[in-house]
Structure 1
Amino acid sequence: MRFLALIVLINFYTAVYAGWLPPENPSPRKILDEAREDARAGRYEDALLKHLWFHNNALKYDRAFYGVRLSFALSDWQELGHKYPEAMHSLEATRDMAGANVRSSVNYYDSFNDYKSINEKLGEEEKTIQLFRWLDKNRQDRAKKVYRLAQSSLVRAKEYELCSKYIDPENSYLRYVRYFRSGLEFSKQSPFQAKAESFAYTSFSNDVATLVALLARGGRKAEAEEVAEMAMLEWDDANFSSALSEAIEGKVPTPWP
C-alpha cells in the first residue's frame, strides 16, 4: 500500500513538476495562498503541486502551521479535488501513505493524525477506526499513544468498549482543565471575547462529559463520579451539572466541534 501510494505521487510529480518549482526560500503561508489563487484561476496542476508541497514541507519551516495544515489546507485541497480529479487521487494517496506509515511505525503519531484528518475530510472515518483496531490488535502501546486522536471517530461509531481500554482519566482531565483555563485567559484579550469564551466553556463541557460517560460505560463508575465532582469544582454551572449527571448514567455526548 505504501509503495503504491508513493508511486502515485512520484508519477504525478514527474508529469507536471515543470509547471511550478518552490522558491529558494519558500514561505508556507505564501505558497498556500498561491495554491488557493491558482485553484480559483483554473491553474489546477500548479495548485495541486503547491498543496502537496505545503502538506509535506510546511512544518519544516514553521511548526505553527500544524493546525492549518490539517484543517483549512486540507479543505482547500479537497475542494480542488472536486474540480480536478488528480487532486482527489493525490489526497487519497497521501492518506494511504500515512496509514502505511502507521503500520510500519514510521513517525506513527503524526502519520495517524494525518490519516485521521484526511479521512474526516473525505467522510471515511471507518478507515480510521479500522486502523485503530489494527493497532489495538497488533501494537497496543502505539494504540495508547494515538487514542486521543482517534477518540472522536470511535465515539461517533459508538465503539465505547474499545474506548474504555485506552482512556486515561487523570491525564485527560488535567489536559482539559489546562485547555479550559488557557482558553478563558485567551478570551479576555481576544477581539471576539464572547465567542472565544463560549468556545472554552462548550469544549470543556463536551470533553469532560465524554470522559465521564466513557468511564461509566466501561464499568468505571467510581472514576466517572470522581471526575465529575472535580469538574463541578472547576466550573459550577447548572447546565454543566446536568450534562455530567447524564454522563454518569452512560449518555455519551456527540463529539464537538
Structure 2
Amino acid sequence: MAAEFLHNDEHIKQDAESILKLGKNLLLKGPTGSGKTRLAEDLASELDQEIFSINCSVDVDIEALLGFKTIEYVEGRQEIVFIDGPVIRAMNAGAILYIDEINMAKPEVLPILNAALDYRRTLTNPLTGETLTAHENFRAIAAINVGYVGTMPMNEALLNRFNVVEIGYVSKESLKAVLMAQSIQKDERIIDTLTEFHQDLVTMTEQGQISREPSSVRSLLDMADLSTMMPLSRACYRSIIDKLDSEQEKKAILNAAELHFGM
C-alpha cells in the first residue's frame, strides 16, 4: 500500500482537490520534505488521473518538456519521428502535469509553461510547428520549496496562473502518525523521541539557526528507518548531520540531539 499524505490541516488536501476539480492550476508551496510530491500523487489517485512529472531543478530544456525527434525504422525504411515529452503527453491524455521546483525553470522554457498553463490550454510546439490544445481533463500541479539557500523567486506571469496552497510543518501528533505509517521503525518510544527532536529542529529553522533541509519530514523518515539498524545517534549523522557543510548548523543539531538521545 502506497504511503498517504498526512497533515493536521485537513483543508490542505480538500482545497487542493477542489482547485483541480474546478479546472484550475494548483501550486503547492512549502519547505522541502513537507509532502508536496506525496500530495500531488494522492490527488492524481483521487481524481483517477495519470501523472507526468518534470523537475525544473535539473537542466530542463524545451526538448525535456515537449519531446524530441529521432530516427526509427518503419517497414525497412528510416523515418524521422517525434517522441512526445511529458507536457505533450499530459495534455493529450487529459492527465496531470506535475512540475516540481517550477521557480527554478530556465527562461527559455517559460513561454512553453506559460502557454500550457494559460486558460486556453493551447501551445505551438516550436520543434514541429504543430499547435496543440489540451484535453479538457488536463490539469497542472506545480511545487516550490521555500526558505532555503538557492531558492529563486517565481516568475510573476507564471505565478498568476496558479491558485496556491501552502503546506506548513505538521503538528507533533500528525508527524507521529506519519512516522508510524510510513517508517519501518515501529517502536513507539523511538518515534516519540524523534517527534520531540523534530520539534526542536523546526524551532531552530524558524529562528534562522539552521536551514530547512535538516528539519524536513523526509530526513526524519530516513532517520527513523536507519534507527532500526543502528543507534539513533549514528542514524542522525547519516540522515541529517553528514549532509551539511555548515559547522554552525552541525553544532546546533548536535546540541539538540544530545538533549534527546545522546551523541
Q: Give the TM-score of the pair, scaled to structure 2.
A: 0.28
Structure richer in helix, relative to its length: 1
Pick 1 or 2: higher relative contact order, CA cutoff 8 A, min separation 6.
Answer: 2
Compute the TM-score of the two structures, normalised by the length of structure 1. Answer: 0.28
